[in-house]
Each structure stands twice: as C-alpha cells, then as structure tokens.
C-alpha cells in the first residue's frame, strides 16, 4: 500500500478497530464491482441519483466534514488532479462527487459549507449526503473502509474512479497523490485503449491516449509530437532505402536489344 493510504484521525485508540491489510484487500477487491443506483441529497437538499452521473467517468471521494486534516488534504489533491485532468482529457469529460460518510453530521448544509471552505467550485463537482444505510452500502461497493475512533474516524485514504457504466475501474490511494495517478486511468476511460481504429474518432482517441503525456517541468499534460517526428524520419529513411534499391535494380537489369 502506498504511503498515506491509511488516514488516522485518532491519536489514541482504546482498541484496534481498523485493520489496514483487510481494508486494502477489500478496496482492491471492489474493482469490477457495479455500483447500485443509490439515492442522495445534493447541497440544496434535492434528491440526486447516482445513475444520473453515468455516461461519463466518475470520481468518488468519501469524506467527513468534521475531519481536521486528512479529508481536506485528499480533497485538495483531488482538486489539483482534476484541474490537470481537465486540460488532458477535457473538463466536461468526467464528473466528481464527494459524499459525506458521517451521516449524523454531513447534512446538505454541511456539505455545501465544506465545498465553500475548501474552495471546491468546479462545475462538474457535486456534494452528496445520505442516510447511514445508503452510505454503508455504497462504501461496501467501493471497498471504502472506515471506523469510528475517539477523535473522529479512521478510514482508507481512497479516491475511486468509476467508468461510464457505473463499474469500479481504479483506486487511487494517499492523502496527497500526484496528478498522474488520477489522470492516467481517466485517459484510459475517456480515450479508450480499446478504441476502434476503423473510425476516425477511434484513431484520434488512440493518438491522444498515447501522445498526451505528463510534463514534470510544468506539472501539466502536453501533447507529445515526438512520435510523429519518429514516424516521419522513419518514413523518409525507408523511402530513401527503397529509392536506392529500385535504382540499383534498374541499373543492373540486362538491356534487351531488338534485332
């Protein structure tokens, strides 16, 4: 498990209630799970169905609003990653939802306050509340483990990427993860490694998949033209070799003279 994957909110625990290994195993075991169409309330208190977000990749972050340290760190890392992802795959190509799992506290009003305090105002980012039964069911499907502790909750520092059909696709771990850990799975989903090369869109997406690369110097994703340069140079070299071979063949052909 990567460093920072487990967020400890308690300084002192009376007894070990959170098993790191079991939590990570459950998280990995959730990959491939189809999410149920759970019902939530958004920041305005209106009903919102999880299925309404299908059709695009979805990033799900389980947080609790009274968290003093780790949930804000995870949300800020997600905000940075989502901003970079927007430049790489398109701002409207995916959705994000933060869901409060402390159901007694994380009301729509608290979730709205959380979003404002954290500066999370992206158009594709939603904030949901739900009852305890719904949150527990969703957490189980996501492989997200959490347990009460004296100072809040112990929980897995997990960000889940779900595909357009509602299937858990990838887990991102850590409280301060680097952008590529989030963007690369999104590239796979948005551009599609299984894109059909028989269509123009499929060909374009395949090119964008492999040629959109992370630039550590800028911290952004850039389009890498080096592949086209290599292909161009290779084509020129092959053309030159072909020209030499054809010319040599023409020069060595026996001349047939007519009587």
Full DSSP string of 192-235? ITT--TTSHHHHHHHHHHHHEEEETTTTEEEE-THHHHHHHHHH
Are 164 and 135 in contact by the 8 Å Cβ rule? The answer is no
Instruction: Return per-residue pLDDT of the chain as tens, 259 residues.
Output: 554 565 654 444 444 467 888 989 999 999 999 999 999 999 999 999 999 999 999 999 999 999 988 999 999 999 999 998 988 888 899 999 999 999 999 999 999 999 999 999 999 999 999 999 999 999 999 999 999 988 889 999 999 999 999 999 999 999 988 898 999 899 889 887 544 444 444 444 444 444 445 456 666 555 544 444 444 444 455 555 555 565 555 566 565 555 5
Are 132 and 103 in contact by the 8 Å Cβ rule? The answer is yes
Are 127 and 114 in contact by the 8 Å Cβ rule? The answer is yes
| Calpha distance 11→26 (Å, rounded) | 25
Q: Which residues pair with 155 in a beta bridge?
A: 7, 146
Report residue 158: phi and psi, to 5°.
-130, 135
| Calpha distance 63→105 (Å, rounded) | 12
Coil, strand or helix at 135: helix
- Angle of helix 108-118 relative to helix 70-89, nearest 10 degrees, comes to 70
Whole-number pLDDT of residue 216: 63
* Token output for 126: 């939603």
CA neighbor of 62 nearest in space, from 14, 19, 30: 30
Report residue 136: phi and psi, to 5°.
-65, -40
DSSP summary character for residue 11: S
Whole-number pLDDT of residue 89: 87
Whole-number pLDDT of residue 227: 43
Are 117 and 111 in contact by the 8 Å Cβ rule? The answer is no
Query: CA quadruple 51, 53, 57, 61: dihedral positive or negative?
Result: negative
Whole-number pLDDT of residue 173: 94
Other CB atoms within 10 Å distance of the CB of residue 180 = 17
How far, rounded to the nearest angstrom, does the alpha carbon of residue 174 sit from its chain's CA centroid?
Answer: 13
| Calpha distance 134→147 (Å, rounded) | 16
CATH match of 6-221 with 3.40.30.10: yes
């Amino acid at each position: 498990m990567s460093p920072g994957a487990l967020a400890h909110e308690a300084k002192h625990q009376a007894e070990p209630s959170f098993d790191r290994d079991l939590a990570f195993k459950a998280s990995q075991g959730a990959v491939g799970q189809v999410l149920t169409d759970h019902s939530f309330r958004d920041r305005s208190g209106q009903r919102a169905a999880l299925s309404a977000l299908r059709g695009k990749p979805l990033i799900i972050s389980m947080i609790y609003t009274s968290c003093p340290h780790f949930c804000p760190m995870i949300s800020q890392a997600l905000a940075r990653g989502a901003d970079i992802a927007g430049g790489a795959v398109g701002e409207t190509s995916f959705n994000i939802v933060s869901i409060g799992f402390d159901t007694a506290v994380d009301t729509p009003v608290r979730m709205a306050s959380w979003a404002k305090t954290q500066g999370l105002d992206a158009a594709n980012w939603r904030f949901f509340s739900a009852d305890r039964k719904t949150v527990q069911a969703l957490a189980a499907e996501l492989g997200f483990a959490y347990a009460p502790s004296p100072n809040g909750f112990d929980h897995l520092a997990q960000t889940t990427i779900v595909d357009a059909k509602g299937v858990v696709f990838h887990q991102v771990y850590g409280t301060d993860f680097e952008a590529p850990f989030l963007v690369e799975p999104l590239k796979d989903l948005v551009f599609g490694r299984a894109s059909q090369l028989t269509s123009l869109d499929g060909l374009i997406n395949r090119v964008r998949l492999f040629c959109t690369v992370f630039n550590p110097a800028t911290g952004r994703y850039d389009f890498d033209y080096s592949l086209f340069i290599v292909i161009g140079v290779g084509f020129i070299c092959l053309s030159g070799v072909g020209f030499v071979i054809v010319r040599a063949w023409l020069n060595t052909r026996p001349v047939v003279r007519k009587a």
